[in-house]
Structure 1
Amino acid sequence: MGLSLATAERWVERWELQQQRYAVDREERFTVIADVVEHVVAGRAGRPLVVDLGCGPGSLAARLVRRLPEAEIVAVDRDPLLLELGRTHHPDAARYVDAEIGAPGWTDALELDRPLDAAVSTTALHYLDHATLLRAYRQLAALLRPGGVLVNGDHLPPDEAGPAGIAAHVGRCRAGRQRVFAHEDWRSWWAAVAEDPELADLLAERRRRAEPSGSSTGSSTGTPAELPLSVHLDLLRRAGFRQAGPVWQYGESCVLVAVR
């Protein structure tokens, strides 16, 4: 299933563009996540250990390792095609792990040799339902060192008491001003992938995995649960995090930080 570097570069570049449609100020969000991790590991002895949840083709891992070249990043996803794009295009950014967040044994698959300094994610955890998210948060709390952080950049709409429709509208207006809707969308990207013979085996494996369970976990398949920010905060506290709250937000695009 190995890919050529040229193929991986081409599809990752297109991925980066289409993802701009779905994450308001995507680069700023990446930067904020890196700011948080850099702050948390500053002055600590040893090599920082970070897990990237729902890593896709390595977009966040590649940016993090540029900011923190000494960090060890473990990037996990259930999508075989996106993982192979990451391994090929960003081979030095992370150690890539094929596992499904929240599934039995997924944390064992990470093969961590010490507590995590940070767990990070972007536009991935909103696919997890309530029960799976609570379980994953508890598992991550157990993996993090005291003072370690979970940093999640995602679509986190306000709860019923907040102006959810207005928040979404503000985000769309910002995206429109940045002209991101000129890029191809999610469905178009995957339709184009299906026409590339070099990706045929990986795409077939991706489809095979999606068929039996219909699971909604992972970064690239299933129907988003998109639980509101207030639910995430409640689940994080129940999972054992002592502090949790947003540190950056535009519309419903949010960077949420939880401290172990």
Structure 2
Amino acid sequence: MWVERWERQQQRYAVDREERFAVIADVTEHLCAGRDRPLLLDLGCGPGSLSARLARRLPDADIVAVDMDPVLLELGRTHHPDAARYVDAVIGEDGWTDALELDRSVDVVDVAVSTTALHYLPAPVLLRTYRALAALLRPGGALVNGDHFPPDGSPCSDLTAHVGRRRAERTGAHGSEDEDWESWWQAVAADPELTDLFEQRERTRPSSGGGNRHLSVGHHTQLLHEAGFGHVTPVWQVGDSCVLVALKD
């Protein structure tokens, strides 16, 4: 029930969410072609939405799904137990990649993916995270990130945001009766079976560090190049909802 409700309320915040998932899977499948058992890393996995879709598309892949939210991790382990190995870690903190328990002599990440998650990281933390990912990825591997990336310049940013809103209106993604982020969490907090996990979430959730929601594609590209990615390009966009791919040489 909770994961189904999560999926519905998330439609409010990601324009053409299912198509964005499909594009991320398309890119991942292409990059992993010919590899017997690719290793994928899902960053900010939530309740396993992207991991579950990737597991269906690439059934031979090993997926490590990372998040810091105990409620969402438990929902992922419960509802998508075979999709991934779920790891509790705070992405961007010093040593966070150690929690992945990868054997660096054997385990080389083919593709790191993320969707609507890395925008919570302040720019300096985002750069550290990009560097850590570049160190984990094999040559030719990639980071595939689906999120909202405004273009450079406020007039263009206003245009892409407007196009995204109109697209959502046409597809009915922002229905007035739909549950939103706040009401979903309020309902979770009232569920006796999730009370302990919700209280743990409230104790451990870091205060907002500002995030990077206003970083443009150009700024992300600059940070990714600085972190060691040789090639960066958007491969899909509707409004300011975009899939950005960064390839490691």
TM-score by length of 1: 0.91
CA distance in structure 2 between the partners assigned to 1:255 and 1:206 by the alignment: 29
CA distance in structure 2 between the partners assigned to 1:161 and 1:244 by the alignment: 22
From 124, 144, 157, give the equivalent of 2:137: 144
* Paired AA for residue 124 in structure 2: A
User: Residue deviations 1:212-233, cap 9 Å, x none?
Assistant: x4154xxxxxx54212111110
CA distance in structure 2 between the partners assigned to 1:195 and 1:225 by the alignment: 31
Q: Does 1:82 align with 2:69?
A: no
* Paired AA for residue 115 in structure 2: T
Runs of 4+ residues over 6 Å off in structure 1: none
Q: Does 1:73 align with 2:68?
A: no
Shift of 1:193: 1.0
Give the aligned CA root-mean-square deviation in angstroms. 1.1
- Match for residue 61 of structure 1? 51
Q: Does 1:201 align with 2:220?
A: no
Contact 2:15 2:167 in 1 (8 A): yes
Q: Which runs of 5+ in 1 are unaligned?
A: 1-9, 217-222
Shift of 1:178: 1.2
- Match for residue 2 of structure 2? 11
From 133, 149, 152, give the equivalent of 1:156: 149
Shift of 1:188: 1.0
* Paired AA for residue 40 in structure 2: V
Shift of 1:181: 1.4
User: Residue deviations 1:223-250, cap 9 Å, x none?
Assistant: 5421211111000000000100100000
Partner of 2:15: helix, strand, or coil? coil
From 92, 109, 124, give the equivalent of 1:131: 124
Q: Does 1:108 align with 2:98?
A: yes
Counterparts of 1:85-96 in structure 2, within 5 Å, are 85-96=75-86
Partner of 1:181: helix, strand, or coil? coil
Shift of 1:161: 6.4
- Match for residue 111 of structure 2? 118
- Match for residue 230 of structure 2? 242
Range that drifts further, 155-164 or 230-239: 155-164
Counterparts of 1:168-183 in structure 2, within 5 Å, are 168-182=161-175, 183=178
Q: Does 1:52 align with 2:47?
A: no
From 18, 22, 37, give the equivalent of 1:27: 18
- Match for residue 3 of structure 1? none
Contact 2:21 2:50 in 1 (8 A): yes
Contact 2:123 2:211 in 1 (8 A): no
User: Residue deviations 1:139-188, cap 9 Å, x none?
Assistant: 00000000001000001111226610111111011111111112211111
Contact 2:67 2:89 in 1 (8 A): yes
From 221, 226, 233, give the equivalent of 1:233: 221
Q: Which runs of 5+ in 2 are unaligned?
A: none
Count of aligned residue pairs for this structure pair: 242
Shift of 1:98: 0.2
CA distance in structure 2 between the partners assigned to 1:159 and 1:130 by the alignment: 16
TM-score by length of 2: 0.95
Partner of 1:180: helix, strand, or coil? coil
